[in-house]
């Protein structure tokens, strides 16, 4: 109906999480929400994946010029630590406490509800209004992934926003259950 309003709505929902406000997340998965299954990207309904090679090149240039204060907070981590940005296929296994996500390129990520430290990231994951929200932070780098089931569980919308220094990536990926 209003095709250009979705990015605005997502921005209004995600921006407070990234830049200050932090709503409490429920660690109990809603009983009627199961993200588990095989999911294929619907490219026509998804935002275009960011150019991950360009992000790597910019991050490398910043490091070379000394603009990035800490290599561990470089935008290059957007590329490796948020694989859903480019994934064409997901396989999700979900239980009462966590989910495991296998990505088409052979990557895997385990997300437990609540707060955990994973590598150098602090990850807070839980449920808000029926959607899974995963908030990750590492130094000044902040990211939010919101997983929402639609169309009676046949469609999975993943909104991702990551900010690292001057680099910001925001995209929605839509997957169809196989």
Q: What is the pLDDT of residues 121-138, one digit of tens each?
A: 899 999 999 999 999 998
Q: What pLDDT is attached to residue 70?
A: 55
- Class of residue 53 by CB neighbours under 10 A (exposed 0-12, middle 13-18, buried 19+): exposed
Which residue range is the domain that position 63 belongs to? 5-177
Residue 30 pLDDT > 90: yes
Q: What pLDDT is attached to residue 11?
A: 40
What CATH number does residue 33 fall under?
2.40.128.20
Most confident segment among 59-68, 73-82, 89-98: 89-98
User: How many structural domains are present in the chain?
Assistant: 1
Pick from 161, 11, 32, 22: nearest CA to 85: 161
Task: Name the β-bridge partners of 148.
Answer: 157
């Amino acid at each position: 109906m209003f095709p250009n309003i979705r990015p605005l709505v997502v921005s209004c929902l995600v921006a407070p999480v990234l830049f200050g406000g932090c709503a409490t997340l429920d660690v109990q998965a809603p009983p009627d929400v199961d993200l588990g299954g095989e999911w294929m990207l619907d490219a026509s309904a998804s935002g275009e994946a960011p150019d991950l090679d360009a992000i790597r090149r910019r991050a490398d240039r910043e490091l070379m010029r000394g603009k990035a204060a800490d290599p561990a907070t470089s935008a290059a981590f957007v590329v490796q630590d948020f694989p859903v940005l480019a994934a064409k296929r997901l396989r999700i296994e979900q239980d009462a406490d966590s989910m495991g996500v296998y990505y088409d390129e052979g990557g895997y990520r385990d997300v437990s509800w609540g707060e955990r430290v994973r590598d150098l990231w602090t990850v807070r994951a839980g449920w808000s209004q029926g959607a899974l929200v995963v908030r990750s932070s590492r130094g000044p780098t902040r990211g939010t992934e919101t997983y929402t089931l639609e169309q009676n569980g046949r469609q999975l919308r993943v909104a991702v926003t990551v900010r690292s220094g001057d680099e910001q990536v925001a995209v929605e990926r839509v997957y169809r259950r196989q």
